[in-house]
């Protein structure tokens, strides 16, 4: 009788162990099916991304302000060219140009040319037609060239890359992952480069405008819209590089500098 009891207890113990192993195996199968969870970014990492995104948004705002305004270049005639009490000054950008008539009484006596454009006067603004009908604009009997159109196309491509980079950062913050940081870095750096290239192309278009006709002497200077665009290009490149550094698996300083006081 005692031998039968010991044998029954031994069989029950084996069955219990087998049952526990079965549950463990079932748990392992469930864990294998679910797979490892995607690692979320930390709060400090998310704060750094938001700070870099704020820097990029400042660049995007300056770029939109500069591209949307028509104060890229200012052209000024001589004060006494018209032979009366008025003179003309013009300012234009990527999309339209304005010719303003000023009174000589409002101009600084020490200034030889007409201007500046901030003075009050009668203004006549027209949109450029080479976007619709392909016709070049004429300002002070000087004709624009295709470089102005090329600068506008580069600016539009830059705005498109800014929008794509912003979408990548918003998705990265909403999902809590760093996967979209590298595409955002590429978009912002490329948008900054395109903005700077558009400035160079536009400057060449201004020089070509002045060379188109020498009958009317005109002086030119670059205005604040181009300054906004130039600042935006530098800020966007800096923001893109910040996103690239944040997308690395570990900080570059931790790779370059040895850890002191740490145990291996």
pLDDT in tens, 122-143: 889 999 887 777 788 888 888 8
Tokens coding 247: 């997308």
pLDDT-derived band at 115 (thresholds 50, 70, 90) equals confident
- Output the six-digit token pair for 251: 């900080």
Q: Which two tokens stand for residue 68?
A: 């949307």
Per the structure, the complete domain to which residue 212 belongs is given by 43-248
Average pLDDT, rounded, for the chain: 81
Is 80 within 8 Å of 246 (Cβ atoms)? no
Residue 206 pLDDT more than 60? yes
The count of residues in the chain is 264
Tokens 């039968």 -> residue? 4
> The whole model's pTM is what?
0.77
Note the pLDDT of residue 108.
85
Distance of alpha carbon 221 from alpha carbon 97, whole angstroms: 15
Q: How confident is the model at residue 180 (pLDDT cuts 50, 70, 90)?
A: confident
Report the C-alpha gap between 228 and 223 in whole angstroms. Answer: 9
Distance of alpha carbon 251 from alpha carbon 247, whole angstroms: 9
Nearest by Cα to 154 from 205, 188, 201, 97: 201
DSSP 71: -
Tell me the percentage of the chain whose pLDDT exceeds 90.
43
Q: Which pLDDT score is estimated for 250?
A: 60
Is pLDDT above 50 for 167?
A: yes
CB 94 within 8 A of CB 67: yes
pLDDT, tens digit, 9 for 90 and up, residues 214-257 = 888 888 999 999 999 999 999 999 999 999 998 887 655 455 54
Is 69 inside a domain boundary? yes
E strand or H helix at 221, and its extent?
Answer: strand 219-222
**Phi, psi at 258, each rounded to 5°:** -70, 145
Please check the confidence at residue 104 and state whether its pLDDT lies above 80: yes
- What is the CATH number for 230? 1.20.140.150
Predicted confidence band of residue 4 (pLDDT cuts 50, 70, 90): low
Residue 165 lies in a domain: yes
Residue 255 lies in a domain: no
Assign 59 to helix, strand or coil: helix
Nearest Cα residue to 115 out of 129, 98, 130, 131: 98
Centre a 10 Å sphere on the Cβ of residue 9 and count the other Cβ atoms it contains.
10
pLDDT value at 7 more than 90 = no
Residue 16 burial class via C-beta count within 10 angstroms: exposed 0-12, middle 13-18, buried 19 and up: exposed
| Residue 259 domain flag | no
Q: Is residue 11 part of a domain?
A: no
Inform me whether the pLDDT recorded for 168 exceeds 90. yes
Answer whether 91's CB lies under 8 Å from 71's CB: yes
Q: Is the pLDDT of residue 39 over 90?
A: no
Domains identified in the chain, total number: 1
Confidence of residue 105 (pLDDT cuts 50, 70, 90): confident
3-state SS assignment for residue 79: coil
Q: Can you give the pLDDT at residue 192?
A: 96
The predicted pLDDT at position 34 comes to 44
Q: Is the pLDDT of residue 100 over 60?
A: yes
pLDDT of 14 higher than 60: no
Q: Is 20 inside any structural domain?
A: no
Tell me which of 59 and 41 has the higher pLDDT. Answer: 59
Query: Is the residue at 82 inside a domain?
Result: yes
Residue 9 lies in a domain: no
């Amino acid at each position: 009788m005692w031998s039968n009891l010991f044998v029954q207890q031994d069989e029950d113990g084996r069955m219990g162990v087998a049952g526990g192993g079965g549950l463990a195996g079932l748990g392992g199968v469930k864990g294998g099916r679910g797979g490892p969870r995607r690692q979320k970014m930390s709060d400090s990492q998310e704060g750094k991304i938001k700070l870099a995104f704020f820097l990029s948004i400042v660049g995007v705002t300056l770029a939109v302000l500069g591209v949307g305004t028509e104060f890229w270049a200012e052209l000024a005639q001589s004060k006494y060219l018209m032979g009366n009490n008025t003179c003309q000054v013009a300012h234009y950008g990527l999309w339209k140009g304005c010719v303003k008539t000023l009174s000589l009484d409002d101009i600084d006596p020490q200034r030889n040319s007409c201007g500046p454009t901030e003075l009050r006067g009668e203004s006549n603004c027209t949109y450029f037609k080479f976007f619709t009908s392909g016709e070049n604009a004429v300002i002070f009997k000087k004709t624009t060239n295709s470089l102005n159109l090329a600068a506008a196309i580069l600016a539009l491509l830059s705005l498109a890359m800014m929008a794509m980079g912003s979408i990548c950062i918003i998705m990265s913050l909403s999902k809590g992952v760093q996967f979209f940081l590298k595409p955002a870095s590429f978009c912002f750096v490329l948008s900054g480069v395109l903005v700077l290239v558009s400035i160079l192309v536009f400057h060449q278009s201004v020089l070509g405008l002045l060379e188109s006709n020498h009958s009317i002497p005109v002086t030119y200077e670059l205005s604040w819209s181009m300054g906004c665009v130039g600042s935006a290009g530098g800020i966007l490149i800096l923001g893109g590089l910040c996103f690239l550094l944040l997308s690395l698996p570990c900080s570059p300083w931790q790779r370059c500098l040895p850890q002191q006081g740490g145990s291996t």
